[in-house]
Chains A and B, each alone.
Chain A
Amino acid sequence: MMVQALLLILIIPLISGVIMFFIPKKERRAQEGLLIIASLANFILAVSLFPQNFTYRLPWLDSGIELSFRLYNFSSFMLLSTAFFGFLIALYSVIFMRGRNFLNQFYGYFLLCIFFSNAVFLSDNLLVLFFFWEGLLLSLFGMIAVGNKEAFKTATKAFIIIGVTDLCMMLGIALTGHLSGTMTLSKINLPLNNPLASITFILLMIGAISKGGAMPFHSWIPDAATDAPLPFMSFVPGAMEKLLGIYFLTRISLDLFQLNAQSGLSTLLMSIGGITIILAVMMALIQKDYKRLLSYHAISQVGYMILGVGTALPAGIVGGLFHMINNALYKSGLFLTAGSVEKQAGTTDLGKLGGLGRVMPVTFGCFLITALAISGVWPFNGFFSKELVYDAAIERGMIFYLAAVVGSFFTAASFLKLGHAAFLGKLSSQNEKTKEAAGAMLIPMIVIAAACVIFGLFNQLPLKYLIQPILGDRLEGHNFSGFPVNITLVVITFVVLFLALANHLFGAKIKGSGLAALDHIRYAPALSKIYDLAEKRLFDPYHWGLGLVNIISKLSLGIDRGINWLSDGLSVRLAYGLSSGIRKAHTGNYSVYLSWSIAGMLIIFVILIIL
């Protein structure tokens, strides 16, 4: 029974995804029906599989590449999360995507994405895992590419960035196989005591954090926010990518390698986390587009998770994983509110929005809850996971804690600005007729918002039953549920949130609008130049890469032309020049020919007699 369920949870999304591609464009009802049924079936199967442990092996080719799937508490938790978001966002996109082109492709890639994610979570063999991991890239590319006209370029950008980092991961997997002698995940447990192991860890880590969207592999996400269909943003960078990236990061830090708290690699991970938090949130501050602002938070929030997992302390890992699921909840919820605004008001440009809270009260309510959650306000879920991360970060170093807290400050500030600009203030004239979104779009938002509240108020529910079992022995008997133990940190958090509110009120008062409330930071003396450069994409590694590729290709072209000139220009001209010279020398006069012969004879005598 369990085996059938396990295979079904892979087969159903795969088959229905493939069928989806062949449903004709006009059969909209059939497409929507298949999407809903398949994602619902996936959810039911995930629930039925939930608290179980077993392994299913299918030896293949006798080559170490074993098609093996392992269901245990971590993977079943991830399956459940995927199925939960998959179903809600499928429901949402049925309404949202109406009237768009390439629906069958989008839905098909959506289901394939669920399939590949399920397969990644279940895989117990690194090569098999990597195979499905690469499959995700395919569905990612497909889902971005069906967006607007610019989307193809963005899809290519995402494809290249993730493709390159996946290459690192592939190398890492090969090295892991070399070091451990097996590709079976559950059998690998390597100490990080030599350089090769460290390099392997870093390579695998690059694959994991780039999937999560951490800096410096983030730059496609803001572009995708404007170009790709919104349900994609809500599902993939909002939820799935974090789940996948942090899942794999946790696997390599906990299972594959023995990452301990004093190691340099742990510090490296924490640094990446801290830098990502600060830089991404600074960029989020200045955005004037609902979706783009959210997309920078999608980057910034992954910093907390990497910081948490990177501490290699039980509190940090639990916090990071808790933050992962919390972020997936409120981030996808926030994107859904953005989609609701886009669908109803026709734009996500904050300059054109305003006062929507009155005409779209449910959307506003959901936004309020999820925004408070992401800002880390008690009693919502974000508060508890952030406190756990703070707790672990301060134990490893004040600087990491500071980064996290400053990140919190700016997060709160930017969401105050977003809420103020979009939902408060005066209703602009073109939005006077805007109505609340349709029920099928509201239900997912409400469910997610409710989950944010439940995971906050009853945080022992996810912590005790979902997350803490993952750590097993490493938990060392701790129990992190309930109200945070370290009251000092909680007080600091409240102070910081209060300061963010004060800062917003101050900014809004001097500038006179919610949108411009953070302009005093944007145009602060030292920051304004950096921001200018950032807006010109000077800090985008992809941009540098493109420039470098350009230079290399020009150089190669130059070399190629040069060689071509040598072979096709110079040598041909030389040959023809010589040839016509010789031709002119043949005058047809036999005395000339005779003299050549005599000259040749003399040379022969010289060689024979003198040399």
Chain B
Amino acid sequence: MYALLVLVPFFSLLALNLPFRELNRRLAFGFAAILFLLQMGLVFIPDVYFWRVHLSFFANIFHFQLAADILSKVVLFCIGLVSLTALCVSRSLIKESEERFNFINIILLAVAGMNGVALAQDIFSLYVFLEITAVSSFILIAFEKDILGLESSFKYIVLSAVATVLMIAGIAILMFIAGSTNFSVIHSALLSQNRNLLLSLSIGLFLSALFIKAGLMPFHGWLPDAYTAAPAPVSIFLAGIVTKVAGVYCLIRIILSVIGFNDQLKGILLLVGAFSAIFGALSALTQSDFKRMLSYSSISQIGYIILGLGSGTALGVAGATLHIFNHAVFKSLLFVNSAAVESQTGSRDIDKMNGLAKQMPWTSLTSILGSLSCAGIPPLAGFWSKLVIIIALWLAGYKIYAVIAVLGSLLTLAYFLALQRKLFFAQPNDEFKNIKEAGFGLIFPAFFLAALIVGAGILSPWILSNFILGFNSLVGG
């Protein structure tokens, strides 16, 4: 029945645009919001009532296979959460209703694509859904049709096109080897294969393509520009979930379900992960643009996720997945904060703005929680996922990488403290004397996400004990 997760957004997109456009325009927001809430809720429904109900009718019309495991469910939840946040924020930031309607339409399309990615069980469907997601993000980045947006969208298209080419080549080779696109069929075919040039080539192509999509260093060139130039709701959407699903989730899925771990693969993942974690954080250190700093921070945090994956153990993958969730929460929150600051002051330059804590207390408070969670300070949610990743690295014998991960956390703390000190706690600047707190549309999502950080942090021991168990079957030794 989970095919509905793809089909409902997709058909509602069609439905919204066919008859009664005027009426639909007014209903679109509420409809999308309910849809995303439902998606979040579905994750908690026991398997027998939803996830294992098969509708052969749909399956016969559309020849793609879908399946959901715990990894998919976490990602589906994140998709719902971040889309809802972006939707809320768009209500107060995109003033014109026509524009907002368009925005909602594209979001729905992107959600359909991402849900498909999360559920796909064969590499070609995965590729198709990935492209749907990518195309909708091209449009989103250039949503305001300004020169910067168009330029960074173009950069994304170029690099994304490269990634697409690499990926389709990789798929072709895998089809050639295994004779099928289905994950499990390819996986069993690869098990009988010895290591050969063709297979290595295919893996290399996949990795490169997905590294570009995920924005890992040194494949990250498009990412800071895209995040920075995009309008605020789009930044939230892109940073919070799109690149995570398009890049990181795909990578995890293909490695777990298709390729399987080997030493070279782990080596590459750890190398790229550590490189991104450290150099992403270092780059963030001297940024003066709020959103650009957050972009580099995203690169650094994706590095952590890949480090967790690179450990090659169930614990590491669990940590990585948990970090995807945490990152979706705190990075969305921080982008909401940046949107609040930008909308109230008209600027994103950290060096110019000082002492906003008095004028914008809620923004300040929630951004502190987001920053601390990102830097991995207990008992906030970010601490637990980083801890799991570091423990997994240590237990897997990659002790140097565990140390690097800890050092990266210090750097994270360093740039976030610098940000907080300048933006919220320094001596107030006369220029920004009359600033007021942002409106409810921006405060509510920030508050909700901050509550989630604290709540998930405090409940983490429970989440961990129930959550990690699900991964043992996934990695399968």
A contact set with B: CB distance below 8 Å: 575-576, 578-580, 582-583, 586, 588, 590, 592-594, 596-597, 599-601, 604-605, 607-609, 611
Contacts and interface: CB of A to CB of B under 8 A. Distances in A.
B351 to A, nearest CB: 14
Given A579-B285, A583-B286, 5 more contacts: A594-B162, A596-B218, A607-B267, A608-B204, A609-B200
Nearest to A580: B286
A608 B218 contact: no
Interface of B: 154-155, 158-159, 162, 166, 197, 200-201, 203-204, 207-208, 211-212, 218-222, 224-225, 264-265, 267-268, 271-272, 279, 282-287, 411, 414
**Which 9 residue pairs across A and B have the least CB separation, nearest first?**
A593-B221, A601-B208, A596-B218, A579-B286, A579-B285, A608-B200, A590-B155, A597-B219, A600-B218
B414 A609 contact: no
> DSSP class of A's interface residues: helix, strand, loop or mixed?
helix
Contacts of B282: 575, 578-579, 582
Contacts of A611: 264, 267
B269 to A, nearest CB: 10
A547 B212 CA distance: 64
Given A590-B155, A593-B155, A600-B211, A579 B221 contact: no
A594 B208 CA distance: 12
Contacts of B162: 594, 597
Contact of A607 (B159, B222, B264): B264
Contacts of A580: 286
Given A580-B286, A590-B222, A607-B268, A597 B414 contact: no
B287 A599 contact: no
Given A575-B414, A609-B197, A594 B158 contact: yes
Contacts of B203: 608
A607 B222 CA distance: 25
30 contacts: A575-B285, A575-B411, A576-B285, A578-B282, A579-B282, A579-B286, A582-B279, A582-B282, A590-B154, A593-B155, A593-B220, A593-B222, A594-B159, A594-B162, A596-B218, A597-B159, A597-B212, A597-B219, A597-B221, A600-B211, A600-B272, A601-B166, A601-B208, A605-B200, A607-B264, A607-B268, A607-B271, A608-B200, A608-B265, A608-B268
B264 A594 contact: no
Given A575-B282, A582-B282, A611-B264, A590 B159 contact: yes
A490 B284 CA distance: 93
A588 to B, nearest CB: 7
A596 B211 contact: no
Contacts of A582: 279, 282-283
Contacts of A607: 264, 267-268, 271
B218 A599 contact: yes
Contacts of A593: 155, 159, 220-222
B468 to A, nearest CB: 29
Contact of B287 (A583, A608, A609): A583
A588 B162 CA distance: 18
B221 A592 contact: yes
A582 B295 CA distance: 14
Nearest to B224: A586
A575 B207 CA distance: 29
A607 to B, nearest CB: 5
Given A575-B411, A590-B158, A597-B212, A604 B225 contact: no
A601 B285 CA distance: 27
B461 to A, nearest CB: 33
A600 B225 CA distance: 20
A580 B221 CA distance: 16
Nearest to A611: B264
Contacts of B268: 604, 607-608
Contacts of A579: 282-286
A160 B420 CA distance: 47
A609 B221 contact: no
Given A575-B282, A600-B219, A609 B159 contact: no
A582 B283 CA distance: 6
Nearest to B202: A608
A425 B278 CA distance: 89
A594 B264 CA distance: 24
A195 B374 CA distance: 60
Contacts of B267: 607, 611
Contact of B201 (A576, A578, A588, A609): A609
A586 B292 CA distance: 12
Contacts of A601: 166, 204, 208
Contacts of B219: 596-597, 600
B382 to A, nearest CB: 21
Contact of B208 (A576, A586, A604, A609): A604
Contacts of A599: 218
A597 B207 CA distance: 11
Contacts of A609: 197, 200-201, 204
B225 A588 contact: yes
A601 B206 CA distance: 10
B346 to A, nearest CB: 23
Contacts of B272: 600
A576 B159 CA distance: 29
A353 to B, nearest CB: 68
A577 to B, nearest CB: 10
A583 B283 contact: yes
A563 to B, nearest CB: 16
A290 to B, nearest CB: 64
A582 B264 CA distance: 28
Nearest to B223: A593
A600 B220 CA distance: 11
A576 B271 CA distance: 22
A605 B209 CA distance: 13
A477 to B, nearest CB: 78
Given A575-B285, A579-B282, A604 B207 contact: yes
Contacts of A578: 279, 282
A532 B433 CA distance: 72
Nearest to A588: B225
A425 B338 CA distance: 95
A579 B219 CA distance: 18
Nearest to A596: B218
A586 to B, nearest CB: 7
Nearest to A591: B158
A583 B221 CA distance: 12
B414 A604 contact: no
A594 B162 CA distance: 9
A579 B284 CA distance: 7
Contacts of A583: 283, 286-287
Contact of B221 (A575, A594, A605): A594
A337 B267 CA distance: 90
Contacts of B207: 604
A596 B208 CA distance: 11
A590 B155 CA distance: 6
Contacts of A575: 282, 285, 411, 414
A442 to B, nearest CB: 73
Nearest to B216: A600
Contacts of B197: 609
Q: Which of A578, A588, A592, A593 is the most central at the interface, judged by chain B CB atoms within 10 Å of its CB?
A: A593
Contacts of B200: 605, 608-609
B146 to A, nearest CB: 15
Contacts of B287: 583
A597 B203 CA distance: 16
Contacts of B211: 597, 600
B138 to A, nearest CB: 14
A592 to B, nearest CB: 7
Nearest to A604: B204
B218 A597 contact: yes
B197 to A, nearest CB: 6
Q: Which of B158, B204, B414 is the most central at the interface, judged by chain A CB atoms within 10 Å of its CB?
A: B204
Contacts of A605: 200-201, 204
Contacts of A596: 218-219, 221
